[in-house]
A and B are shown apart, each in its own frame.
Chain A
């Protein structure tokens, strides 16, 4: 049963990516093409998602643990350094080349698209390589220092 909740979260996440158009590389690239015929749709995707998530973080801020009694694992790092900015710039370059970022790429595998499989395999290789240059390869939310009470969210 412990798998059910993340499974549902993944389904809802994927539904949102499908409905919003984020899974369509052409639509993503049309959003990133400011100098061409600009499709602003993805700004609304971002706006809707951030607004709902913002409310969730406010609710979490008033709680000591999650509704399932789990500790909140929120990234604690506040350091803004070259790795953060450089990593984001490299990520954005790849995003602009193919119009795919990690979650929509995974969703496209569900559409049985072999090109999406190829992209994801390359992405996994890139991730493995990125971990070599990263301080803590355990990800944005998983470093041991990241665990903290919700009141500091």
Chain B
């Protein structure tokens, strides 16, 4: 293993992580809910009365955040560069898997680990392992 010191950004990573944690803390301590992106987005696909607008508001906040990030940190979009067939396949797998496994990086990876849920620890270990393996296959076996 070789560490890429040039692209390693420890402080912005840590500060960004703290902000993500604060958002999770806000949802929990104000709304009483878990900040899990796939659960919040997926809940809109089977809409229930009185359970729509808070989800839409949170998603709106995510969509609006780049404008604020640009003002505050000068962030510009890095851009999604994968090819179209790859993007469609990846999107299908991410959507399908996150609903079947009931969570994604935020729900299992941040909130689940933070509340010491063994279920989320297993899920997080599984998706990290398959993420590592997928990148290894694509970058080092297939290319």
Instruction: Give me the interface of A with B, judged by CB distance under 8 Å.
Output: 2-27, 29-30, 32-42, 44-57, 59-60, 65-68, 70-75, 77-80, 83-103, 105-113, 115-116, 118-131, 133-134, 137-142, 153
Contact = CB atoms under 8 A, between A and B. Distances in A.
Nearest to A72: B32
B65 A13 contact: yes
Contact of A48 (B20, B54, B58): B20
A35 B133 CA distance: 10
Main secondary structure of the interface of A (DSSP, over half): helix
A88 B139 CA distance: 21
A95 B123 CA distance: 14
Contacts of B53: 2-3
A86 B73 CA distance: 38
A68 B99 CA distance: 29
Interface residues of B, number: 121
A106 B62 contact: yes
Contacts of A4: 57
B119 A59 contact: no
9 contacts: A8-B61, A19-B73, A48-B13, A56-B21, A94-B94, A98-B87, A101-B94, A106-B59, A140-B34
Contacts of B51: 142
B122 to A, nearest CB: 5
A85 B26 CA distance: 29
Contacts of A44: 10, 13-14, 17
A45 B16 contact: yes
Main secondary structure of the interface of B (DSSP, over half): helix
A36 B29 contact: no
A139 B38 CA distance: 8
B94 A102 contact: yes
A9 B34 CA distance: 11
Contacts of A108: 77, 80
Interface in B100-121: 100-111, 113-115, 117-119
Interface in B1-17: 1-4, 7-10, 12-17
A73 B67 CA distance: 31
Contact of A9 (B61, B68, B77, B96): B61
A134 B13 contact: no
Contacts of B92: 94, 122-123, 125-126, 129
A9 B27 CA distance: 6
Contacts of A48: 13-18, 20-21
A50 B2 contact: no
Contacts of A20: 12-13, 15-17, 19-20
